[in-house]
Structure 1
Amino acid sequence: MTDLVAPRPIAWVSSVSDDGRRNLAPFSYYQAVCSRPPMVVFSVAWWPDGRMKDTLANVLATREVVINHVTSAHAEAMNATSAPFPPETSEWEACGIAAEPAAVVAPPRVAGALACLECKLVHALPLGGGAPGKPSATLVVAEVVHFAVASELLRRDARGRLLPIDPGQLQSIGRLGGIAYTRTTDRFELLRPEAPGSKASD
């Protein structure tokens, strides 16, 4: 399935436990699902022995999370944070990743990330069956309450409306099957079609 459902965006998720321990981990079951209000989802698998992963435990305890955008420049650091560190080890220190305060939530942002989505938990939905009595994964539905975007990505038209972000400047990477990743360096455009007989919208 993960070979076929690709490329997948990567949520580099920052969270904090209820006693202040910071966590940073990547998840490639990640997508935008609602515009009003802006909402995203990411899925956190449980450990085979039925333990909850630190990210999920933190999100359930504090109901806050930051999703940091991953560029090519951050690929190695992002991958390093996927190692199975024990709960008492912070990926930030272990992997040498600089943090900066978020604007409206407690978990920090990755310093230098081109975009960060500061979020509040809306739903946590258990999925599937793993260890006895435990789910296989939990789908986290979160509302974005603050967007932090690098100024060089933001452009406006003559009327002051935001223009689409240039994918080349965004430098996204995506997850493929196995240990493979891809960059958004090769792309094409398709105009959205109009239904026969309909009037073009403004």
Structure 2
Amino acid sequence: MTDLVAPRPIAWVSSVSEDGRRNLAPFSYYQAVCSHPPMVVFSVSWWPDGRMKDTLANVLATREMVINHVSDGLATAMNATSAPFSPEISEWEACAIAAEAAAVVAPPRVVGALACLECKLVHALPLGDGAPGKPSATLVVAEVVHFSVASELLRRDARGRLLPIDPGQLQSIGRLGGIAYTRTTDRFELLRPQAPGSKASD
């Protein structure tokens, strides 16, 4: 399935435990699902022995997280944080990743991330069958309460409306099957079609 459903965006999620321990981990079951209000989802698998992963435990306890955008230049650092560190070890220190304070939530943002989505938990839905009595994964539904975007990515038209972000500047990477990743350097555009007889929208 992960070979076929690809490329997948990567949610590089920072969270904080109730006692203040910081965590940073990537998840490639991730997508935007609602515009009003802005909402995203990502799925956190459970360990085979039935233990909850640190990110999920933190999100359930504090109901806050930051999803840091992964650009090409951050790929190696992102991958380093996917190692199975024990709960008492912070990926921030172990992988030498610089943090900065978020605007409205407690978990920090990754310094150098071109965009960060500060989020609040809306739903946590257990999915599938894992260890006895435990789910296989938990789907996290989160509302974005603050967007932090690098200023060079923001452009406006003559009427002051935000223009689409240039994918070349955003430098996104995506997850493929196995250990493969892809860059968004090869792109094409398709105009959105109009139904016969309809008028083009402004």
**TM-score, normalization by structure 2:** 1.00
Q: CA deviation at 1:110?
A: 0.1
**How many angstroms apart in 1 are the aligned matches of 2:176 and 2:193?**
29
Instruction: Spell out, residue by residue over 1:127-177, the C-alpha distance to the aligned partner (whole angstroms, 9 max, x if none).
Output: 000000000000000000000000000000000000000000000000000
Matched with 2:157 is 157
**How many angstroms apart in 2 are the aligned matches of 1:201 and 1:104?**
36
Structural mapping, 1:113-192, within 5 Å: 113-192=113-192
Compare 46-55 and 192-201 and name the one that shifted more: 192-201
Which consecutive residues of structure 1, in runs of 5 or more, have no partner in the other structure?
Answer: none
Instruction: Spell out, residue by residue over 1:78-124, the C-alpha distance to the aligned partner (whole angstroms, 9 max, x if none).
Output: 00000000000000000000000000000000001000000000000
Q: CA deviation at 1:59?
A: 0.1
Matched with 1:102 is 102
Matched, 1:38 2:38: yes
**How many angstroms apart in 2 are the aligned matches of 1:200 and 1:152?**
30
Aligned alpha-carbon RMSD (Å): 0.3
**How many angstroms apart in 2 are the aligned matches of 1:201 and 1:58?**
44
Q: CA deviation at 1:199?
A: 1.1
**How many angstroms apart in 2 are the aligned matches of 1:125 and 1:112?**
32
Matched with 1:88 is 88
**How many angstroms apart in 2 are the aligned matches of 1:58 and 1:72?**
27
Q: Which segments of structure 1 move beyond 2 Å, counting only runs of 4 or more?
A: none
**How many angstroms apart in 2 are the aligned matches of 1:60 and 1:40?**
16
Q: CA deviation at 1:48?
A: 0.2
Q: Partner of 1:44: helix, strand, or coil?
A: strand
Q: CA deviation at 1:39?
A: 0.1
Q: CA deviation at 1:201?
A: 1.1
Number of aligned residue pairs: 202
Q: CA deviation at 1:200?
A: 1.2
**How many angstroms apart in 1 are the aligned matches of 2:32 and 2:102?**
20
Which consecutive residues of structure 2, in runs of 5 or more, have no partner in the other structure?
Answer: none
**TM-score, normalization by structure 1:** 1.00
Q: Partner of 1:147: helix, strand, or coil?
A: strand
Q: CA deviation at 1:46?
A: 0.1
Q: Partner of 2:122: helix, strand, or coil?
A: strand
**How many angstroms apart in 2 are the aligned matches of 1:22 and 1:30?**
21
